[in-house]
Structure 1
Amino acid sequence: MATQHDIALTNALTGIPGPLPPSGVIHVAFPHANRFTIVGNHLAQHDGLSLTAIGIGVYIQSLPAGSQVGIKALAARFAEGETTIAAALRELETHGYLHRTRARLTNGRVVTRTVFCNQPDALLRERAMAPTRVAVPPMRTVEPAAPVSVAQAPVSAAAQAPMPVAAPVPVAAAPMSVAAAPMMTPAVPEPAPVPEEKPPPVRVPSRIAPKPPRRPLPQPRELTPELHRTASALLADLRRHAPELVLSEDDVEELTPGAAAWLERGAHPDAIRRALTTELPQPPKYPAKIVRHRLAVLLPPPLPGAQELAPARRTPVTPFQTCEGCDRAFRSPDPGHCRDCRARYWEAA
């Protein structure tokens, strides 16, 4: 069967007019006679929809009216979960392809009414080009009088009765004859349609949050030869304690400054080893990336010096004393009299 398909495909490629592209997709297209759906490129190549949303939109467009397109029905039909399908339906709803409303039936049951529009832009254009209807108050019109000649027969009494006259109409500058002066009604210009402003396209944020930038590998203040040798030996010895952490020579050379920064901050080699080998993912696909991440994220702070660990000096507080003259409390290092009593004694002296 595979050989027959290959032969048929080769024959179809030879029938394509023009030179074939050197790379990329090559279309072998046959016209559909039945069971096909017309899908616009605005949906199939939408740059704001995810691949799941585009696929679900094409699937819903191919279904007949009345088909079930809820989250449960789509999850039972496809391998994607309900969370993924719900997010895709929200994307289609944001871009105008899908409209979901709650409606109450005559029996009191509340159902979800789903409407799928294959061209949201065309719907917005039709709404914008629809003329806005403006209510114009009706105007009274008077039929123009018949032309009257000079030699006309006498008019009857009924015809001489007063007739209702319309609002005054501005008279033209040129004189008009009696026969050519019918009463005219000013024409009301038809209001121009007001185009509806098209809302700006809404970009649906990606369901995958952007990853934060990777922390740089810590660097020691001074990488001495002795510190370099100890750090490289520590990294090369990791596979003895965790067989999964097999690092190459290039990895050890690249990660040595990070381990040297730990040693420079007073971390014990056993503590570094436990931090790098405890609770590893199984199986670890990229051991060097795991070690680099832990060296950068779990870096301990520098050890505090003697000045930081020294107890803070307390500010001496002046004690309270009781005045020997008025028994008032006042602050003073030595007992005696308060300020007012001292002033009185000085005045008396």
Structure 2
Amino acid sequence: MDTQHDNALAHALAAIPGPVPPSGVIHIVIPHTNRFTVVGNHLAQHAGLSLVAIGIGVHIQSLPAGSEISIKTLAARFPEGEVRIACALRELEAHGYLRRTRVRLAKGRVATRTVFCNQPGAVLRGGVVPGAPGAPVVAAAVRNPAPAPALVREHLRVPEPEPTLVPEPALVREHLRVREPEPTAVAGARPAPVRLPAPTAPKQPRRPLPHPHALTPERRQAASALLADLRRHAVELVLSEEAVEELVPGVAAWLERDATTDAIRHALTADLPKPLKHPARLLRHRLTALLPPPLPGVHDLTAPRRAPVPPFQTCDGCERAFRSHEPGHCRDCRAPYGEAA
């Protein structure tokens, strides 16, 4: 059978105006006539936000006003867990896209009020006049008639007007406070607690591979031969020439400490994990973590000498024997003679 071709995709690519880029993504732009949301590139291409935070921000911006966007609701909608969603919401909150405040409702109830701003930079620059071009407007749950495709293309060619700045940003806060939807809280219900990620311990730096005091040619040759011969005893330990050259100092350090080749081979090949994905990393870890201490010398193995024992003396008072380096009185007779003196 011949290779199948996608004729629809080929016609769409042929209809793209202008030259097609030789590499990278190729965009086929079809104007939307319904069910679309305008998202700024400052959010879609934000350099300080993670991909999860950008996706959640676009999802929240596409929802109608009054939609539930709690952590549990988003976790039930998407495959990401509550911890990752909570971290993404904190990222959006840190960059000004999201604002969460605790408000007290009637009868002493407390609810979380969430405000999403599609252009936080415009608000931070000093505020805009409500109703003016570029002013922040809370999305309303009213469906506008879909414009024609020609009108959409004409609108996209017209540049956006610059926002009119005013010195007092209090109008923006008042405008947002008036048009915020009231949260639908159930009587006696408590806001869902936010689970913060557990702090992780800092990763310990990897210990360096041991090196001998003197890497002689004989030790280098013996270490290289031992590493290359490991695959005869364990088929998993097939090392490249570069890995053997890197691990030679570690084996030479074992040989310098009078470790036999059989002992080194047993330490490197015993109880290998199944399957073994990185044999060179495993050998590096074992050569570092299982490095034996130097053998003790002959003088280190001799029994410690006992302290000299004082000889026996005869007490001048009671003639009882006691140990002392000098003659005199025993302990019982020493006290009365000391008091009399």
TM-score w.r.t. length of structure 2: 0.59
Contact 2:257 2:293 in 1 (8 A): yes
For residues 9 and 20 of structure 2, the distance between their equivalents in structure 1, rounded to whole angstroms, comes to: 14
For residues 231 and 128 of structure 2, the distance between their equivalents in structure 1, rounded to whole angstroms, comes to: 70
Q: Equivalent residue for 1:28?
A: 28
- The structure showing larger relative contact order (alpha-carbon pairs under 8 Å, at least 6 residues apart) is 2
Shifted more, 18-27 versus 249-258: the winner is 249-258
The structural deviation recorded for 1:193 is 5.5
The structural deviation recorded for 1:35 is 0.9
2:239 is aligned with 1:247:
yes
Q: Equivalent residue for 2:275?
A: 283
Check 1:111–1:211 CA distance in 2 against 1; reply closer, same or farther (3 A cut): same
* One-letter amino acid of the structure 1 residue matched with residue 276 of structure 2: P
Counterparts of 1:13-162 in structure 2, within 5 Å, are: 13-127=13-127
The structural deviation recorded for 1:273 is 4.4
Contact 2:122 2:128 in 1 (8 A): no
Contact 2:126 2:169 in 1 (8 A): no
Q: Equivalent residue for 1:217?
A: 209
For residues 254 and 128 of structure 2, the distance between their equivalents in structure 1, rounded to whole angstroms, comes to: 66
* One-letter amino acid of the structure 1 residue matched with residue 123 of structure 2: L
The structural deviation recorded for 1:283 is 2.5
For residues 128 and 294 of structure 1, the distance between their equivalents in structure 2, rounded to whole angstroms, comes to: 65
* One-letter amino acid of the structure 1 residue matched with residue 12 of structure 2: A
**For residues 27-76 of structure 1, what are the alpha-carbon distances to aligned partners after superposition, in whole Å with 9 as ceiling and x for unaligned?**
11111111111111111111111111111111111111122212211111
Contact 2:126 2:167 in 1 (8 A): no
- Which structure has the greater CA radius of gyration? 1
Contact 2:99 2:116 in 1 (8 A): yes
TM-score w.r.t. length of structure 1: 0.57
- What is the number of residues matched between the two proteins? 246
The structural deviation recorded for 1:114 is 1.6
The structural deviation recorded for 1:119 is 1.3
For residues 55 and 262 of structure 2, the distance between their equivalents in structure 1, rounded to whole angstroms, comes to: 53
For residues 306 and 118 of structure 1, the distance between their equivalents in structure 2, rounded to whole angstroms, comes to: 79
SS, match of residue 114 in structure 1 = strand
The structural deviation recorded for 1:293 is 3.5
Check 1:299–1:81 CA distance in 2 against 1; reply closer, same or farther (3 A cut): farther
Shifted more, 242-251 versus 19-28: the winner is 242-251
The structural deviation recorded for 1:310 is 9.6
Check 1:25–1:259 CA distance in 2 against 1; reply closer, same or farther (3 A cut): same
Q: Equivalent residue for 1:256?
A: 248
The structural deviation recorded for 1:216 is 4.4
2:191 is aligned with 1:230:
no
SS, match of residue 112 in structure 1 = strand
Task: Extract unaligned runs of 5+ from structure 1.
Answer: 130-191, 197-206, 314-332, 336-349
* RMSD of aligned Cα (Å): 4.1
* One-letter amino acid of the structure 1 residue matched with residue 56 of structure 2: I
Tell me the percent identity.
Answer: 68
The structural deviation recorded for 1:109 is 3.0
Check 1:111–1:308 CA distance in 2 against 1; reply closer, same or farther (3 A cut): farther
Larger % of helix: which? 2
SS, match of residue 99 in structure 2 = strand
SS, match of residue 49 in structure 1 = coil
For residues 88 and 271 of structure 2, the distance between their equivalents in structure 1, rounded to whole angstroms, comes to: 36
For residues 20 and 209 of structure 1, the distance between their equivalents in structure 2, rounded to whole angstroms, comes to: 50
* One-letter amino acid of the structure 2 residue matched with residue 108 of structure 1: G
* One-letter amino acid of the structure 2 residue matched with residue 285 of structure 1: K
Contact 2:49 2:91 in 1 (8 A): yes
SS, match of residue 126 in structure 1 = coil
For residues 99 and 291 of structure 1, the distance between their equivalents in structure 2, rounded to whole angstroms, comes to: 52
